[in-house]
Structure 1
């Protein structure tokens, strides 16, 4: 193929538009000669023709057999004038998963939504392979292509079936294919270490490769890394993968000849939520198992991953803890199960949980389905309040580790360092944005909490007003009964009742003053909250970090050119060294901005919210106690009215059934007037009771959250 272009009968491409290269073929971006449609062409080199004929045609046959949205489509097979075979395939505009992971912003792994997309596409593509009895044998990020749709969403597709072959679950094979970092340890031993053995391999070798690939996508790094890397320390690489304890999902050697540090969980630096990590880790542990007998089978893998991918994420922010959570739960589960999952992740018991959404109480019945929960996101989660004392203790993420800047001038070392630093500063920026979001959620959440308590104060004042009206009615009735009939035996009980009513009457102003004190304290807290919210709105920490990142990226790009240039002229070398000084200065500013501005302000807000939380929890407890007390008091007053009605009935019956002469000093005319007044009083009280009963029902409908000890003696 002379020149800079090549073509077949129907397609044309530039030899500079290389999408990927391997031992037996190269892949180029090409165009249809008639329509201009973009395609990918895989051009086999002369080395590929030294393979057995059945191996040469295997990829064609495999791709013709497979037809799935998560597998790169084969359009046709064409030939160059030299008779070399060319596969014309679907072009994926987003490059490979490997190229995505090599972007600095993904140095610590993909964002959660993108990782889930990768997982779903890989699982669906692999399921299609297994349905067709195909083992891929070279699963890795470089063989997972990314198609970007018009709405910006990704679709990932398996490609490169040159190593694939038909193999059922119970069949084995002996030949070696694959990329060493992603190879099953048994294959690695024979292919990389060149140790002869008679082991055969089954379909589980694909599961190992999937495990390494998913781990790489989640963390940005290979899970098993010896000191100086897997390509330079192959024996230790094999040792790590074969001596890995059961349940471990990563092993790292940090110094030459040093011990292996085993991990049983995903690192804090990756972008996945704790809720997803809990679901994912058992899957990785199950398929990253060197012993083929202990390794999961595809059925178990598909069952577990499908279960994860079918779950609905519900974003939650625990206000008093200042911690964001993502609860992965099936849409058909009940809210009761959701509450239990929340308790499991947050440590807040079901009975202590109270949810708010967009500033309003979210009242949920346990029998409701999770699908009916409102839509949530990291910036618009459900806010979780706890009715128990809680403490916020830590930052949402740790400060990234920064490598030491090379002291000596060396073009390649400086470029590699600057590339790493770009990824690290992307992580700094991500955490700064997270701190900013958490501060917004804290301020919004506590504002809603304050407004909720203010509403409860209003309800308490309304309750006091209701008690006052009913109390006045009871006291008036007691007084009138006593005036009408000072001689009856009922008078002693009436006098005792009057004393208790007087005691309640004297205490009501104290309750009123207490509620007003709460309202005044809430006013002060809201002023503090408003000032902090205004300060946050005017902060420029994120913008400053973004500017520092852009400056560091510019230096990295300059160093990339220097690396391509090779040996630098004197002046270029001096510029390179000056840029290194600037790079060191930018890194110091990044750390200073992070520690002395972002983290410090976040800690100050946490200190304020701890005070707010303590004050508001005390308010809430006392308001709940008062709510219980006032509800009980209204019931006691109602019972007191009923007793007074019965007393009046007995008095009326006595006056009507006995003559006036039996009671000294009462004339028949006085008796008639007394009976008339008592009838009138009873009618008035019955009307008042009916009017007050409606308001009493409103008070009772507020519900009693906690049983409180009675603040006054019972009136019953």
Structure 2
């Protein structure tokens, strides 16, 4: 086979950067390669019998990607699915409990083993790759407490994927999920944990076979990931679905991770509203990344990222010079330092996503303000131009007939509607000013996030710590140190401890505290946004109702004016044949003047009706535009 120049999976996991497991992308590469390798072995009827990270070699492909290869077939043999073997091989931490009992505990037993023993080893290997540690750990370690190691693996409850004994002669504690320090997203964990639970089964009757293992792992590997940032919760989610799934299935997957029901899910992507039709394929969702996710809106309370303080995982140096112990301690401290760096980046990215998402919401609300204000002002302009003419005063001087009284009441109602529209316009203007002020705050906050230098400070400490760690790594291979070298070693220990303390201080004070403060501020801003959106909805409804009512009032007024105009024409025709009426005690408009006025008023009302009809068409179109997201 080709030369694998990058060591083994074990050497990758032994690196301090991966003290808490592989990054998600690298873990998926391991899973894909191991599944492909095991599938090839089973197609050829081979059982490996010694699967472990040390027997999985790594090489780098032409495009810089990792490729992992199953190696070391010294213990392999041909074995069909229904065949058994009795010989024992393997590495004890990765051995099936039945094999462990005979090979490690030296207990006589006549059990025969099948091909599924490889599945147990794969389960332990995958857990190790995902978390950086073994799943079954007795007090003192697997090599020092073999009886408890066997107890943990054989007494493990169904569904548990890990077990540990925290203190000597203490109780066994079981885990049904991956630890919080794991770098895998909750979306991937939800897919992986059931697989681990079913291949880490002692009883072969309950353990999956290879066919089901290949089916379930292939299902994971065929899925695509959609990155979703819950703006209200301030958490980034990885949603794994099949490309052929519908939007409805995607929304249900989001619901499982966020508890936001599909009917309450509204999305933005790169500042634009995304209307997701449940029946269409999820392939229509835009390509997302961790830095460019879909932004999900809901009314949930911000909770932020849950994480374990790396300071809790920092070991202490022993006072005396012990080269091996000092190396192990430095490795553990450096691993916690890399975990702090990773968390610092995640927290900073979370602040950026919060501020960017709020900025987009501000833009959507401002656009809603502009559209509603345009409709309100247009309606108000037409109403004011019609009601502000001298024709309104002419109606007052007309004869006291019932139709004119109704017309005057209708015109009074139009004036009232104009006043309401005026107040709505003023209200929207004030909302725009409030949103502009909040947008300016967001700009300042984003500038502060971009100017943050905590990542650089942590990285600087890590670089110096890494240099000392490499010196310790070389020193541990030596039988001892001279006096001067020993003094330098002691000084390095002091400097290493000082750097670690400084790193954790920066993480706590510059990263965690700022992140927690940003969550509090974010929660207040989200409440303002939610209230503003509800307020705009009410104002928009008022504007729409005013336009609808104004159209109805205008139609009634036009009908009355047409009837009056028709009546005046008839009265004029009759008056030409009759004798002239007696002189009125008070001056009154002539039929000719009244007729002309009615005709002008009718034409004005028709123009107003046309304008109001246009406004209603605009409102209908706005109602078809997706509403601003619930926040």
Taking structure 2 as the reference length, the TM-score comes to 0.92
Deviation per residue, 1:154-175 (Å, 9 max, x gap) = 2222222222222222222212
Q: Cα offset for 1:348? A: 2.1
Q: Does 1:399 align with 2:309?
A: yes
Q: Cα offset for 1:498? A: 3.1
- Which consecutive residues of structure 1, in runs of 5 or more, have no partner in the other structure? 1-88, 708-716
- Which consecutive residues of structure 2, in runs of 5 or more, have no partner in the other structure? none
- Judging by fraction of residues, say which structure has more helix: 2
SS at match of 2:623: coil
Q: Cα offset for 1:398? A: 2.3
Q: 1:566 matched to which residue of 2?
A: 479
Report 1:245-644 matches (<5 A). Answer: 245-386=157-298, 388=299, 390-400=300-310, 401-472=313-384, 475=387, 479=392, 482=395, 486-644=399-557
Task: Select between 221-230 and 604-613 the one with higher mean Cα deviation.
Answer: 604-613
Distance in 2 between the 1:643 and 1:119 partners?
74
Distance in 2 between the 1:367 and 1:488 partners?
61
Q: 1:230 matched to which residue of 2?
A: 142
Q: Residues 655 and 595 from structure 1, CA distance in 2 versus in 1: closer, same or farther, beyond 3 angstroms?
A: same
Q: Cα offset for 1:457? A: 1.8
Q: Residues 323 and 562 from structure 1, CA distance in 2 versus in 1: closer, same or farther, beyond 3 angstroms?
A: same
Distance in 2 between the 1:633 and 1:112 partners?
55
SS at match of 1:429: helix
CA contact (8 A) 1:481 1:648 kept: no
SS at match of 1:90: coil
Q: 1:83 matched to which residue of 2?
A: none
SS at match of 1:597: helix
Q: 2:567 matched to which residue of 1?
A: 654
Q: Cα offset for 1:319? A: 1.3
Q: Cα offset for 1:343? A: 2.2
Task: Select between 625-634 and 687-696 the one with higher mean Cα deviation.
Answer: 687-696
Distance in 2 between the 1:652 and 1:427 partners?
86
Distance in 1 between the 2:74 and 2:90 partners?
10
Q: Cα offset for 1:675? A: 4.5
CA contact (8 A) 1:316 1:383 kept: yes
Match of 1:191 among 103, 125, 136: 103
Deviation per residue, 1:326-365 (Å, 9 max, x gap) = 1111111122222222222112232332211112222322
- Judging by fraction of residues, say which structure has more strand: 1
CA contact (8 A) 1:628 1:704 kept: no
Q: Residues 195 and 480 from structure 1, CA distance in 2 versus in 1: closer, same or farther, beyond 3 angstroms?
A: farther
Distance in 2 between the 1:290 and 1:108 partners?
26
Distance in 2 between the 1:666 and 1:196 partners?
135
CA contact (8 A) 2:6 2:58 kept: yes
Q: 2:613 matched to which residue of 1?
A: 693
Q: 1:710 matched to which residue of 2?
A: none
Cα-Cα RMSD: 2.6
Distance in 2 between the 1:141 and 1:333 partners?
35
Q: Residues 665 and 167 from structure 1, CA distance in 2 versus in 1: closer, same or farther, beyond 3 angstroms?
A: farther
Q: For CA contacts below 8 A with separation 6 or more, give which structure has more relative contact order.
A: 2
CA contact (8 A) 2:379 2:612 kept: no
SS at match of 1:433: helix
CA contact (8 A) 1:249 1:285 kept: yes
CA contact (8 A) 2:369 2:432 kept: yes
SS at match of 1:198: coil
Q: 1:59 matched to which residue of 2?
A: none
Q: Residues 530 and 169 from structure 1, CA distance in 2 versus in 1: closer, same or farther, beyond 3 angstroms?
A: same
CA contact (8 A) 1:631 1:700 kept: no
Q: Cα offset for 1:409? A: 2.4
Deviation per residue, 1:41-85 (Å, 9 max, x gap) = xxxxxxxxxxxxxxxxxxxxxxxxxxxxxxxxxxxxxxxxxxxxx
CA contact (8 A) 1:631 1:699 kept: yes
Q: Does 1:125 align with 2:37?
A: yes
Q: Residues 694 and 564 from structure 1, CA distance in 2 versus in 1: closer, same or farther, beyond 3 angstroms?
A: same
Distance in 1 between the 2:297 and 2:582 partners?
68
Q: Residues 657 and 333 from structure 1, CA distance in 2 versus in 1: closer, same or farther, beyond 3 angstroms?
A: farther
CA contact (8 A) 1:253 1:259 kept: yes
Distance in 2 between the 1:664 and 1:228 partners?
122
Task: Select between 220-229 and 448-457 the one with higher mean Cα deviation.
Answer: 448-457
CA contact (8 A) 1:660 1:671 kept: no
Q: Cα offset for 1:474? A: 6.5
Q: Does 1:178 align with 2:103?
A: no
Distance in 1 between the 2:583 and 2:173 partners?
102
Distance in 1 between the 2:599 and 2:405 partners?
22
Distance in 1 between the 2:2 and 2:400 partners?
106
Distance in 1 between the 2:463 and 2:482 partners?
26
Deviation per residue, 1:283-331 (Å, 9 max, x gap) = 1111111111111122221221121111110111111211111111111
Task: Select between 269-278 and 129-138 the one with higher mean Cα deviation.
Answer: 129-138
Q: 1:81 matched to which residue of 2?
A: none
Q: Residues 92 and 489 from structure 1, CA distance in 2 versus in 1: closer, same or farther, beyond 3 angstroms?
A: same
- Work out the number of aligned pairs and report it: 616
Distance in 2 between the 1:546 and 1:645 partners?
77
Distance in 2 between the 1:175 and 1:282 partners?
30
Distance in 2 between the 1:235 and 1:414 partners?
29
